Structures are given as C-alpha cells and as structure tokens.
Structure 1
Amino acid sequence: MNKPSSVSADNASSKVTRKVSVAIIGAGTAGQNAFRQASKMFDDVVIINEGFWTTTCIAVGCMPSKLLIAAADRAHDANHSTEFGIHTTTQIDGKQVMQRVRDERSHFASYIKKQVDSWPDDKKIAGHAHINEQGLIEVNDELIEASQIIVATGSSPFIPEGWADKLGDTLLTSNTVFELADLPKSLAVIGAGSIGLELAQAFKRLGVDVTLFNREKRVAGLKDDDINNKAIDCLSSQLTMHLGSKINEVGHNTIENEGTAAFIDYEDSAGELQQWQGEYVLVATGRRNNIKQLGIEHLGVELDDKNRPKDLSKKTGQIGDLNVYIVGDANAHIPLLHVASDEGYSAGSMVCKNNEDAYIRPPAIPFSIVFCSPQIVNVGKSLPEIQQDPDLKYVVGSVSFDNQGRSRVMGVNCGLLHIYGCKKTDRVLGASMVGPDAEYIGHILATAITNDLSVKDLLNTPFYHPTILEGLRTALQDVQHKMEIPYQFHDTQENNF
C-alpha cells in the first residue's frame, strides 16, 4: 500500500517536527471513533481539529433541532386539542425556548468534552490542517509526517454564491439559527430537505410566521411520487409552502423605524413574480464536505465535480490502495451520524497492524428519518432504484394511516406507507413512508433488511392491538397478497379497530 507522504526521509528530516503512525484530521463523530480505535494499537496517534471538539450532531444538528422540535410539539398539542374537548391558550416565551435549546445542548456536549479532555494533550492539536505537496500535514507551527491518514473533517452548510453578502445579518443557517436569543417574528426557509422541513415546521408551531421555498415540487427528497404527494398534503395544512418556485434575487433593506428586513424575489409555480419580506432567511440547501481546501489531492486522492472522493470503499472509507481513509460527512456518502460512527470505527480498526482481524462494521443500509410531523422515513432501496433493474420483480404493499385505528384515536391520522417487496425472495427491498411513528416502523424494516428476514418472518411476529404499528402489518399483508404465492396469514381486522 502506498504511503500518503511521498517525501523521502532524507529530504523531510530537517523539516518534519513529528512522525506518527496515524494522523486523524477532524474530531467529530467519525474522527473520535477512529481515534479511539487506532489508539488501541498505536501510542503515536495524533488528532487535529479546527473549531469545536464536539460533533455536528450535538453542536448544530440532531440534538438542538430535536430540542426545538420538542418545544414546538408541546406548543402544537396545547394549541390544537379542541377536537378532544380540551380548550386552552398558551403563551410562548421565545427567549426561554431558545435558552433551553442551548442549555440542553451544552449538557449533551459536556459528555463529549469529558471524553476529549481525557485524551493526552500531546495527541490533540487545535488548528487548521493542510496537506502540502510533499504529503506532509502542516498545522500551526508543526510539520507532521503520518504513515496513515484518516480524514474526518465533516461538512458545512451550503450557501448559494453571493447570498451571504446580499442577505448580511438576515442570513441564518443550521450552524447559526440556534444562537438566536429569541424566536424571530418571521422567517423564510430555503430548501425542503430534512433540515428545512424540520426547522420550518418547528418555528411555525412556536408562533413564527414561516414560509418554506423549494425549487422542486418535492419534500424530504422523496422519490416515491405517491408518498411525496401525501407528505405535501399532510404538511401543507399547517405550513405555507411554495414548492416548484424559483428564487431570482435575495437581499435586505433598512426600513425606517423598523430596522433591517430581508426580501426574496421569486417566481411561484405558476410563473407569477412574487416577493417575500421578513426578518430572517434560513438557508437550508444542504451541506457540503470540508475537504476542498485540505490539499487532499497531494495524497493521490481524486475528487469528482461535487468534491466527493473517487475510488472510495463504502465499508472502510479507504481510497483505493492508499493509506488514506475519508470517513463521515467528509466523503459525502451518506451524511448521517450512525453512518459516520460506523465508518470512523471501521477506519480506525483498519489502520491497526492486525487489521486482518479488525472488526469492520458492515455498510449501513440507506435509512433516513425526517422528524417533522408526520415523520418521513426512507429505508433500503428507493422505488426508482428498484424500477431501474429490469430483472427485479417487485410488488408494492401499501397502507393509508388516514383511517388506521390507533392513529385516528390519537388524532394523528394522516400518512401513507409503501413497502417494496421482492417476488423472488420474499424479502423487503425498501420502504418509504410519511406518517405517525414512522421512526419505529423504519427501524423494524431496517432490521428486517439487515438480518435478511422475509415478509413471512415479519408477519409471524406479534403485533399488539391497538397500536399504530398494526399499520405495518397491513402493508406487509398487502405485499403478500400481491406475491405470486401469497402467504396464508391469520385472519385479522384490516382496519385495526
């Protein structure tokens, strides 16, 4: 295997300040796991990090967003209980809402900080790493030669060119929105992916005047048209969405006696010119990996036109036969925490001398959850992926949650589940869903795919009554009905009443 550093020992000896077996660049979820694994074998491991020494999830991602959603759900339930005969009014303290988000985030971060503080100081370097033409790592006043390099530099919010200057202080991203001292009065959210949907709905439920824009007539990246249309139907009842809109210009103006206001000039889905004006614009147009300025090409790594590394092992993050591993959000493979965790663990095991016996976690199946209400889940292969395989015979099992027993009892009866089943193997190929308890149904289906369980195996497990999970059974039964040799299941009440 090739070493990342191409400089000879003689030429480098007068410059190199430290030689290490493993250098890890980035101390997020993937980097921390890689560091822990590599440290089990090597004493001369170094981890280099710029910025906070926690994780994207804790600092600006999963945890603060879920804290905001938790507050929003409490407010929504309090304000929308008249159908149960419960009449109440709420008062939302925006400052307290945002302060709790930050306080609880600090609580979660304290556990990571405690772990990092336990690492030897001489193995931690705070600073910006750059790989020079000789394949050496430049950081602060050090020049480090590493036999093996693990890149785990994470990702950053993508901001369209010129928008930062045009919007000025009215621009927010998922990296900055949780620093607001109070809830804004009005907010435009650009992008209807997972981040945009979650934050748009949460702020709306907390009393903010929210407008969501998206270029496509899709939400959450859904690829099953029926699920996408149902998601739009469920969400549009409580959220103003301009889907299929085109943004022509953004900016901000100073309004006398009112301060600064942002504006968006756009074409709506009918082609009519419109303008939105409000307090802030939250840009949620995705995240991009942070490796462009790292100098990764000096290690022999090639990137495609979207800065994704070529010749990447999805199991370990290794690049070809190089002693270079790119893991987590940095490789732009599947930017999810559990994937980053597994990749960091596997890369940290691979660099060890006994890597033939290293425990390499298998690649995670595609599995995503959007924590809006109703939730959106995608598991396994998407419908277009299945349809593109001419040899794959499949059926689609379906269930609506609009009249599903427990969902109606709870007043959360809006949703649709599609399960894609293979006729030949009786296995679940994938699923897409919008609806209540989708996160749990998604986990069950992900477990089934991971452990190669058949649809028959799933139907042979108990489904307690009355639960929302009974809807999963109905969809699985529909899969079996459409198979060439249907499975004879026990009589059940299809409506789960």
Structure 2
Amino acid sequence: MNKQSETGVDNAGPKVTRKVSVAVIGAGTAGQNAFRQASKIHDDIVIINDGFWTTTCIQVGCMPSKLLIAAAERAHDAKSSAKFGVHATVQIDGKQVMQRVRDERNHFASYIKKQVEGWPDDKKIDGRAHINKQGLIEVNDELIEAEQIIIATGSSPFIPDGWTDKLGDTILTSDSVFELTDLPKSMAVVGAGAIGLEIAQALTRLGVDVTLFNRVKRVAGLKDDDINNKAIDCLSGELTMHLGSEINNVGTQTNAEHKAAFIDYEDSAGESKQWQGEYVLVATGRRNNIKQLGVENLGVELDDKNRPKYLSKKTGKIGDSNVYIVGDANTHIPLLHVASDEGYSAGSMVCENEENAYIRPPATPFSIVFCSPQIVNVGMSLPEIQQDSNLEHVIGSVSFDNQGRSRVMGVNCGLLHIYGCKKTDKILGASMVGPDAEYIGHILASAITNDLSVKDMLDTPFYHPTILEGLRTALRDVQHKMEIPYQYQDTQKNSS
C-alpha cells in the first residue's frame, strides 16, 4: 500500500505509529457500513472521521429537508382547504417550525451516535486524514500504515467562486439552512435540482417570499422534455421561478433599515434585473471531498471533475489496487441507498475470502424529488434509450390532470412516461411528475430490477379508486403502442 521500507520506518520521516489491515476514512452512510462489514473479519481496523459522526442524510440532507416539507404540507393543506368547503386560518410559528426540524433531526441522529459510541474507542479517530507521499495516513499525531483503504469522505455543497466573500452571512447552503432559528422573510434559491426545488417550495408554503433561479429551463435535472415542461407547469402555480436566467453578480448592500443580499441577473428574455432579499441559498450541487485528501499518493487518478478513474461501480475498487472509494466520494450515484450498498460491498471485499464476498447487485437507477407534485426517474433516461440504436422503444403515457383519485384529492397535475422495449416487452425506464410518484417509482424500479414484462405488470391487481390506477393506464398505453409498427409511430409523431 505504501512506499516505506520493510522495517516500518519511512527513511525520510517519522516512524509508523499503527499498522492495520483496513482503514476507513469517513464515517457517513458508506463508511459506517464498510466499517461494520469489515469488522466482522478484521480486528485490526480503524475508522477516521472529520466532523459529525452521523450521516449527510440525517444531519443536513434527507431527514431535515423532509421535516421542513412535512411542516410545509400541513400549512399548504390548511391554506388550500377552502375548495373542499373547509375554511381555515393558518398561523405559522417560524421558530417552532425550525426547532422541530432540529429536534427531530437530532432524534434520528441519536440512534447513529449510539451505534458509533458502541464501537471500541481505539478503532475510532476523530480528525482530518491526509495521505502522504509514502502512502501513509497522517491524522492528528498518528502515522498509520494500512493494507487496504476505504475512502468514504462524502461531499460538500458547491459554492461558485467569490460568492462566500461577497454574500457573507447572507449565504446559506443545505448544510446551514436548517440551523436557522426562525423562518426568514425572503430568500433566493439558486439551483432547481432536488435540493433547490424541495427547499424553495417548502419555504414558500411556510410564508417565505422565495424566488428560484436556474441557469437552464429545466427542473430536477429532467431529461424528458414533456415531463420537464409539465413539472414547470405544475410547480409555477405557487413558485416564483426564473428559469433560463444568468446570474452576473451577487453581493450585499446596506440601507437605512438593514443589510440585504442582492442578485444581478438577466432573465430568459435577456433583460437585466436585480433581486433583493434576506438570504441566498446556494443549491448548485455538491462536490466530493477527496481533492485535498492526497489520493494521488495511493495511485488514484482523478478526472477534471475530481471523479476517480478506473472505478468499479459494484464495489468502489480502484483498478487492481487495494483502494476503495465509495458513496458520495466517488460521485457515481450520490444517493443514500447507493452509498449504503457500496459501503457494504467494499467492506465485504476487504475481508479474507474476497472471492466469496457478497457484493450487492447494482441498484436500478432511481431518484425521487419530494416537491409537490413529486418527480421521479427510474431506469434508463429517454436520451440514453434514444442513443442506443438497438433499442426499439415506445412511450406509454398518462396524464394525472383528470385521473379519478387524483382529482378527488385535489392533486390532479402530473404526467407519467414509461419507456417500453418492443423486442422484449420489458420496461427500460420511466419519468414522472405527479401525485404518489414515490410509490409508482418504487413499483417500476421493482419491475425493472426483477425483469418483469409489461404483461406481468398488467396481470397484477390495481385497486379502485387509487392514484396507482394511473400506472395501469400508462402500461396499457405501452402495450397498445407495442402492437403498432414502430416506423408508423415515428411517422405519426412527426406529422402531429
């Protein structure tokens, strides 16, 4: 693993303080799973972590954002109940909202902390690790030689150059927004991905004056134009969005009353405008935390976006080395369930019987954005399918605008596309914006994972009246279109 001499002493530096079979760097979802799995075989193992010993999901991601969304949904349901003949007055206590977010977040985190506290103290190191030129791990006052290294250092919010200095204490990220003790009066959200959409809509529903900016005319990274346009249509009824806008400058200015953040931008029509408000939440994505770690000293090569080359997507192993990079650190698919599987698999691989290690199979691509209506992508995207000349496909569709149960519930805005393969009668992928999308997405992901055909899906019961009946309608549309010659479909589409 390292370039030091057989005596365990670096000829040009200090003596190694500890030798271990496995070192795990990072104690998030992937790192903790790797540590637990490898600990079943290896006693001489260490886990090193800088920062909180929970997970990104629990501390600053999935859980606090869903807590904020839960409060927002209660407010929205009450405010919009008049159409059902139920009239309510809503009073939002911002301090109580944010306190519950943190209290419940901390409740979830306490279970993780309790697990970590149960690990032997001599196997945990609280500090920032660095790989030196000899391939040894420097942390605090220790110099560690590891036969195998699992890197699970996670990711951090990306902030455009100079914005931190220009915006000062008016800048927020998903790592800091949940620490607000009260709801602000106004906020700009820059970025219309999952984080930006969820927080922007939740805060809007909680009475915050929110403006959402995005450089392109897309939301949630949607790649199916029809689904993207429908999502924009469904969301724009309550969200102020400047899509296709270009931000030229940010900063703060102080007037007689208070300091305000500002954003100078050009809208989609090319007109110069300025936004002013209390905070700017930057939701322009996350970047992995391996650039400063020194992974190049382990022979790991990174591309121009700091993504490791020669990465096994099943285990996180780098080529033929004894280095594994898992979870958000490898930027493969930065989702919790993927990080969990990668950590488990890497932890199995470093055990003695590597050939018989249980490697969790690659998960079917699956993502959910928990805005309302929800946005889901499953399996292959439409551009991926269209680029493969061997995939003769059809698109089954259903609108939720007039779907029975959706209309009953007053959530009737949405569209589902299912991409079916004509040769195999199998589902290639799907994209959706609409009610109950998280459940429809799970059903479709299960179907793809278990290689079910469209006929298999239609042979299962669909209870009436449910929103899930919309899934059956889309599957029937796939089945119908598979019976029509593919060339005829193209002709019909081009002539419409």
Q: TM-score range by the shorter chain?
A: over 0.9
Distance 1:275 1:7 in 2: 58
Match of 1:10 among 7, 11, 27: 7
Match of 1:495 in 2: none
Match of 1:357 in 2: 356
Runs of 4+ in 1 over 4 A off after TM superposition: none
How far apart are 1:160 and its partner, in Å? 0.1
How far apart are 1:254 and its partner, in Å? 1.7
How far apart are 1:237 and its partner, in Å? 0.3
Listed one character per residue, the Cα deviations across residues 414-457 of structure 1 (whole Å, up to 9, x for unaligned) are 00000000000110000000000000000000000111011110
How far apart are 1:82 and its partner, in Å? 1.1
Distance 1:11 1:104 in 2: 47
How far apart are 1:485 and its partner, in Å? 7.6
Distance 2:79 2:239 in 1: 15
- TM-score, normalised to structure 1, is 0.96
Distance 2:26 2:102 in 1: 23
Match of 1:49 in 2: 49
**What pairs up with 1:212-223 in 2 under 5 angstroms?**
212-223=212-223
**What pairs up with 1:453-472 in 2 under 5 angstroms?**
453-472=452-471
**Does the 8 Å CA contact 2:417/2:431 hold for their aligned counterparts?**
yes
The one-letter code matched in structure 2 to 1:359 is Y
**What pairs up with 1:55-454 in 2 under 5 angstroms?**
55-256=55-256, 258-454=257-453
How far apart are 1:366 and its partner, in Å? 1.1
Listed one character per residue, the Cα deviations across residues 49-92 of structure 1 (whole Å, up to 9, x for unaligned) are 00000000000000000000000000000001111011111100
**Structure 1 counterpart SS, 2:145:** strand
The one-letter code matched in structure 2 to 1:114 is K
Distance 1:8 1:191 in 2: 50
**Structure 2 counterpart SS, 1:269:** coil
Distance 2:424 2:21 in 1: 46
The one-letter code matched in structure 1 to 2:415 is L
Structure 2: runs of 5 or more not aligned: 486-496
Distance 2:464 2:149 in 1: 53
**Does the 8 Å CA contact 2:8/2:16 hold for their aligned counterparts?**
no
How far apart are 1:11 and its partner, in Å? 5.7
> How many percent identity over aligned positions?
84
Structure 1: runs of 5 or more not aligned: 487-497
RMSD: 0.9
Listed one character per residue, the Cα deviations across residues 250-274 of structure 1 (whole Å, up to 9, x for unaligned) are 0011221x22100000000000000
Listed one character per residue, the Cα deviations across residues 383-416 of structure 1 (whole Å, up to 9, x for unaligned) are 0000000111000000000000000000000000
The one-letter code matched in structure 1 to 2:422 is K
Distance 1:302 1:391 in 2: 33
Listed one character per residue, the Cα deviations across residues 281-321 of structure 1 (whole Å, up to 9, x for unaligned) are 00000000000000000000000000000000000000000
Distance 1:265 1:431 in 2: 37
Match of 2:493 in 1: none
Match of 2:489 in 1: none
Listed one character per residue, the Cα deviations across residues 119-165 of structure 1 (whole Å, up to 9, x for unaligned) are 00000000000000000000000000000000000000000000000
How far apart are 1:484 and its partner, in Å? 3.2
The one-letter code matched in structure 1 to 2:388 is D
Distance 1:249 1:465 in 2: 53
The one-letter code matched in structure 2 to 1:212 is L
Distance 1:445 1:12 in 2: 56
Distance 2:129 2:8 in 1: 21
